[in-house]
Amino acid sequence: MLQSQLLMPTLREAPSDTEAASHQLLLRAGYIRQVAAGIYTFLPLGVKVLHKINAIIREELHAAGAQELLLPVLQPSEQWEESGRYHEYGPELMRIHDRHGREFALGPTHEEIITALVRSEIKTYRQLPLTLYQIQSKFRDERRPRFGLLRGREFMMKDAYSFSESREDLRLIYQTMFQAYERIMIRCGLDFRAVEADAGSIGGEGETHEFMALSEVGEDTIAVCSSCGYAANLEKAESAAPDMNAEVPKGVLRESPLVESFCTPGMGTIDELCSGLGLKPDRIIKTLIYFTDGKPVAVLVQGGHEVNEIKLARLCRAAKVELADEDAIRQLTGGPRGFIGPVGLRLPLIADRHATGMNDAVTGGGEQDIHLRYVKPGRDFKVELTGDIVNVLEGERCSRCSEGILHFQRGIEVGHVFELGTKYSGKMGAQFVNREGKLQDIIMGCYGIGISRLMAAIAEQHHDAEGIRWPRTVAPFQVHLLTITSKDEAQADVASSLYSLLRDSGLEVLLDNREERPGIKFKDADLFGIPVRIVIGKLASEGKVELKFRAEEESRLLDIEATLA
């Protein structure tokens, strides 16, 4: 490719509203442009990198026995009603309607659509196991799109779904996919860790792991054991014996069985809250967020005597919040209204950013955000609390081996694999005739990779102050040829013969043939981050060119004849 013909608008300065290095550099180097918050155009160089990543993913998934298909972005709401997620998913699901008033969702993920497909096409165990995948744009109305491609509202995802007749088969597919993911991450040049995870809104009954690219800009924290290899997302991590006297960092709410149960990243229900506390659901009377002057000031849990006060007190101490006494609750609620043995938990809610009345309150809790939602779908109260709620503290002992110490690292979730079980097939009636001749729910798994996020994660891990340093496997070109003076005949001759020669040998080559000052060409080359640079300058007439690897400081002289010989 001749650079004079390439659409590669570079920027000298980073746009002001950009924080993450990948965001700044992908904009500056002309890989992407922002269209609106969380929505991006991929320019020609950006598309090339996406295609490289896609090719690696396709190769590894085909090797794992998966088949590619393409599902629609527009998904009729009926299928989402069947799974129950049309209401559960909340405001992240983008909803539109057609001219007849029929409702549709823009796919944030495709469990419903694919389960409906398999329900009509798969009839017997002879057609199983089956793994299908697609590469496509996904839509999520993220509360806070940020860091460029790292958290978009429209982004590229590879999503795969497996269908099997037994848990054992699911286990095998899960392991195969897990290994394919490891190979994909390695081939993309990522420093990553697979960690035990929480199922979130996709749900499921079995194992789930996230693939984390290690990076300080990552929004996830992972706990890693110094000794046995245990690694888990903080939402999920457990320590051997938490030290409840340990100092808890400010702005962090320490997880306890109570908070865990109603504060999972999806939505907790009263039932989950009860199971977390070891209670029968009918013993919890109410869970409330209490508002004063329109602002949420407290979360109240009102229950019977069985509510474990020791657990609550422990939680409150760790979270540095008050355990409200009976009087305080009486004051807040205007009386106990017939409940027995009330227990209240008071959270220090500092700023109220986007409160929209009783139903939706987003509050800032210092450095970390704590997001509270209070909804009343039918008879259940549901409370959602997201943010950095920690389960363990750095330095505590590992729960797996009781010997190692847990260390924290920041990570970017680039992939996520789930053993779904029958969560979707059960609700949507996707059944097959099993070996005993009986109808049975298909056993599913799902496996996602955020391709555009992965691209940004690579740039996070591979860059310096001057620009990106793409690993060879995903670079838009492998070799960048530059002439110092493009009008110089000797230089132009060497450039054009090297250009054809390298291309003939199967390499992708970008030739900077522009009539620009060398300084500008070098700066652009550093920004682009193509792994190998060959500079054709004065010594071209003597058959010598300069070779430099983007990841290294030093360059070396290369004798063209000798190299080719």
Positions touching ligand ATP (CB under 6 A) are: 109, 140, 142, 151-152, 155, 157, 200, 202, 413-416, 448, 450, 452-453
Both tokens assigned to 531: 């792994």
Based on the shown chain and the rule CB under 5 A, indicate whether residue 119 belongs to the binding site for Mg ion: no
End-to-end CA distance of the chain: 25
Going from the C-alpha of 68 to that of each of 93, 160, 179, the distances in angstroms are 25, 9, 18
Based on the shown chain and the rule CB under 5 A, indicate whether residue 158 belongs to the binding site for Mg ion: no
Residues with Cβ < 8 Å from 23, sequence gap 6 or more?
147, 148, 149, 150, 456
DSSP alpha helix (H) spans, 212-325: 257-262, 270-277, 309-319
To ligand ATP, the closest distance from the beta carbon of 129 in angstroms equals: 22
Alpha carbon distance 477, 563 (integer Å): 21
155 binds, among Mg ion, ligand ATP, none (CB under 5 to 8 A by kind): ligand ATP
Half-sphere exposure of 317 (CA within 13 A, CB side): 12
Q: Which of 297, 300, 287, 311 is nearest to 344 (CA)?
A: 300
To ligand ATP, the closest distance from the beta carbon of 90 in angstroms equals: 12
Alpha carbon distance 246, 405 (integer Å): 15
389 binds, among ligand ATP, Mg ion, none (CB under 5 to 8 A by kind): none
Nearest CB to Mg ion, comparing residues 71 and 417:
417
To Mg ion, the closest distance from the beta carbon of 27 in angstroms equals: 23
Site string for Mg ion, 396-415 (x = CB under 5 A): -----------------x--
Nearest CB to ligand ATP, comparing residues 155 and 174:
155
Nearest CB to ligand ATP, comparing residues 90 and 364:
90
Nearest CB to ligand ATP, comparing residues 141 and 322:
141
- Contact criterion met (CB below 8 Å) for 398 and 388: no
To Mg ion, the closest distance from the beta carbon of 132 in angstroms equals: 19
453 binds, among Mg ion, ligand ATP, none (CB under 5 to 8 A by kind): ligand ATP
369 binds, among Mg ion, ligand ATP, none (CB under 5 to 8 A by kind): none
Alpha carbon distance 537, 384 (integer Å): 63
Based on the shown chain and the rule CB under 5 A, indicate whether residue 48 belongs to the binding site for Mg ion: no
For residue 474, report the phi and psi dihedrals to the nearest 5 degrees. -120, 5
To Mg ion, the closest distance from the beta carbon of 212 in angstroms equals: 10
Nearest CB to ligand ATP, comparing residues 148 and 342:
148
How many residues are there in the chain?
565
Please select the residue that binds Mg ion; options are 138, 400, 416, 550, rule is CB under 5 A.
416
Nearest CB to ligand ATP, comparing residues 37 and 228:
37
Residues with Cβ < 8 Å from 299, sequence gap 6 or more?
287, 288, 289, 290, 345, 346, 347, 372, 383, 385
To ligand ATP, the closest distance from the beta carbon of 151 in angstroms equals: 4
Q: In degrees, to the nearest 5, what angle opens at C-alpha 361 toward C-alphas 371 and 223? A: 5
To ligand ATP, the closest distance from the beta carbon of 194 in angstroms equals: 12
To ligand ATP, the closest distance from the beta carbon of 341 in angstroms equals: 37
Residues forming beta bridges with residue 303, ordered by sequence position: 284
Binding-site ranges for Mg ion (CB under 5 A): 413, 416
